[in-house]
């Protein structure tokens, strides 16, 4: 399902945020801040950017999507459900025993996804390998990887950065969720990452920093990436963790905890108010 306008994409992001809250409350465990902060990006990727066929999950010409920071998987599950891979109601088993929707994505339970994830710092390497395979096979499909700022504290990430630049993997687009938080504090206090775009450029990547909630900026960055020849692209997306829920926004304490039933109801109420504001906006891309 492709959405044509920014208004439609914003409404889908709002739907995804509500889905995330509805998954987390009954699970009584999971991550809240990251999935809410990434919902705009996932809306754009799944409903505007990527080519895929839910009815043929292993369609050979699909674009490949790799989620590196697997703990934010609630946003992935919601996006895939809304895209038609499975009923949204099934995601309410999130993190329950025997559920397909585990706290970190597993191909054992969800063969529709490209990678299992849990240990951080691995996704960019996986995505680079897939992109290399696409190049060797002379394929037109592209590889999209969502990663986090915190996992750039892992050396394996920088090995992948070197690899992708060396082999000129211009079919690879990575998006870093630059929300400045990790489980026990601010990234710049724990292990400063500094100017991430400058670091990527030094390694030979095309790199740009954008507001991770600015649809026009994100769409332009993704469009520019398609035109880039000989270099992989990194989009540093500066996001607000917990976006859309006032009592979660910007608080690292919500990195790895779910809302209570009462907090969930308050969050949904806030998101419904935001939905009304979006619906009142004019159309346009």
For residue range 39-66, list pLDDT tens digits in order. Answer: 999 999 999 999 999 999 999 999 999 9
DSSP sequence for 198-235? HHHHHTT-EEEEEETT-HHHHHHHHHHHHH--SS-EEE
- Give the residue from 113, 95, 83 showing the smallest Cα distance to 22: 95
Distance CA 249, CA 34 (A): 10
Q: Is residue 175 part of a domain?
A: yes
Q: Is residue 284 part of a domain?
A: no
Distance CA 230, CA 226 (A): 11
Q: Is residue 285 part of a domain?
A: no
Q: Report whether 33 contacts 241 (CB < 8 A).
A: yes
Residue 49 maps to which CATH number? 3.40.50.970
The whole-number average pLDDT for the span 83-112 is 96
Distance CA 93, CA 70 (A): 17
Q: Is residue 68 part of a domain?
A: yes
Q: Is residue 1 part of a domain?
A: no
Q: Report whether 34 contacts 255 (CB < 8 A).
A: yes
Q: Is residue 249 part of a domain?
A: yes
Q: Is residue 213 part of a domain?
A: yes
**What's the pLDDT score for residue 1?**
67
The tally of domains found in the chain comes to 1
Name residue, tokens 């208004």: 7
Distance CA 86, CA 138 (A): 31
Helices (H) and strands (E) counted in the chain, each on its own, are 9, 7
List CB contacts of 265: < 8 A, sequence separation 6 or more.
none
pTM of the predicted model as reported, rounded to 2 decimal places? 0.97
Q: What is the share, in percent, of the chain residues with pLDDT greater than 90?
A: 95
Q: Please say if the pLDDT value at position 183 is more than 90.
A: no
Q: Please say if the pLDDT value at position 83 is more than 80.
A: yes
Q: Please say if the pLDDT value at position 184 is more than 90.
A: no
Q: Is residue 199 part of a domain?
A: yes
The average confidence (pLDDT) of the chain is: 96
Q: Please say if the pLDDT value at position 285 is more than 60.
A: no
Q: Residue 166 belongs to what domain range? A: 6-279
**What's the pLDDT score for residue 99?**
95
Q: Report whether 69 contacts 177 (CB < 8 A).
A: yes
Q: Report whether 58 contacts 69 (CB < 8 A).
A: no
List CB contacts of 119: < 8 A, sequence separation 6 or more.
none
Distance CA 25, CA 97 (A): 16
Q: What is the share, in percent, of the chain residues with pLDDT greater than 70?
A: 99
- Give the residue from 75, 87, 8 showing the smallest Cα distance to 48: 8
Name residue, tokens 């706290």: 103
């Amino acid at each position: 399902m492709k959405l044509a306008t920014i208004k439609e994409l914003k409404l889908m992001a709002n739907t995804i945020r509500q889905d995330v809250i509805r998954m987390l409350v009954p699970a009584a465990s999971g991550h809240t801040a990251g999935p809410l902060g990434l919902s705009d990006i996932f809306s754009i990727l799944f409903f505007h950017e990527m080519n895929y066929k839910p009815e043929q999950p292993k369609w050979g010409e699909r674009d490949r999507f790799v989620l590196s920071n697997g703990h934010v998987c609630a946003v992935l599950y919601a996006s895939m459900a809304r895209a038609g891979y499975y009923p949204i109601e099934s995601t309410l088993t999130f993190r329950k025993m025997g559920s397909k929707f585990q706290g970190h994505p597993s191909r054992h339970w969800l063969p529709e996804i490209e990678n299992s994830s849990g240990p951080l710092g691995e996704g960019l390497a996986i995505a680079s390998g897939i992109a290399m395979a696409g190049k060797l096979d002379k394929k037109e499909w592209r590889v999209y990887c969502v990663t986090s700022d915190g996992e750039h504290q892992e050396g394996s990430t920088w090995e992948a950065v070197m690899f992708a630049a060396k082999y000129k993997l211009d079919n690879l687009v990575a998006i870093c969720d630059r929300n400045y938080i990790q489980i026990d504090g601010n990234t710049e206090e724990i292990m400063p990452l500094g100017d991430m775009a400058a670091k990527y450029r030094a390694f030979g990547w095309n790199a740009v920093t954008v507001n991770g909630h600015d649809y026009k900026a994100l769409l332009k960055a993704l469009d520019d990436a398609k035109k880039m020849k000989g270099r992989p692209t990194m989009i540093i997306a500066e996001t607000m963790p917990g976006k859309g829920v006032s009592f979660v926004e910007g608080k690292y304490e919500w990195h790895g905890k779910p809302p209570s039933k009462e907090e969930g109801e308050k969050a949904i109420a806030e998101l419904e108010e935001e939905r009304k504001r979006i619906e009142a906006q004019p159309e346009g891309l």
